[in-house]
Amino acid sequence: VFRGRILARRSVGQETRYEVEVKTPHRHRFPLVSREYLWVANACGCPPLREGHEYLLMARRHVNYEQTLNRILLPDDGYARPWTPREDRLVREAARHC
């Protein structure tokens, strides 16, 4: 889970790649750098992440079977909400209990 600002969007084949500025990593099992690529496994723009806006994102690390592809993937059942101070507060409270 991290808060990020969408910098750019690009369609690559049947997928969408977002360039994201990582603002605040809340809970992560793999290291995040200040800028990451976030992949969505469709080209329709779902979920609709708009450039310049901040979101609270729950993504997962995707490594393929051959161990040649390592990326951050926002799955269909992933969490992508516009960032608000309320969302930030809820994540911080949940982190204390988990």
Residues 6 or more apart whose CB falls under 8 angstroms from that of 41 comprise 14, 15, 73, 75, 76
Domains and CATH numbers, the chain: 2-96 (2.40.50.120)
Question: What confidence score (pLDDT) does residue 53 get?
Answer: 93
Q: What is the pLDDT of residue 21?
A: 93
- CA dihedral sign, ordered 43, 56, 69, 75: negative
Predicted pLDDT of residue 7: 95
**Quick one: tokens of 40?**
């969505």
Predicted structure pTM score: 0.78
The per-residue pLDDT string of the chain (98 residues; one tens digit each, 9 = 90 and over) reads 888 999 999 988 888 999 999 987 776 666 788 898 998 888 776 778 899 999 988 888 877 666 666 788 888 777 888 988 887 777 777 777 76
Cα dist. 43→2, 9, 91 in Å? 23, 11, 29
Which three-class secondary structure state does DSSP give residue 76?
Answer: coil
Residue 1 DSSP class:
-
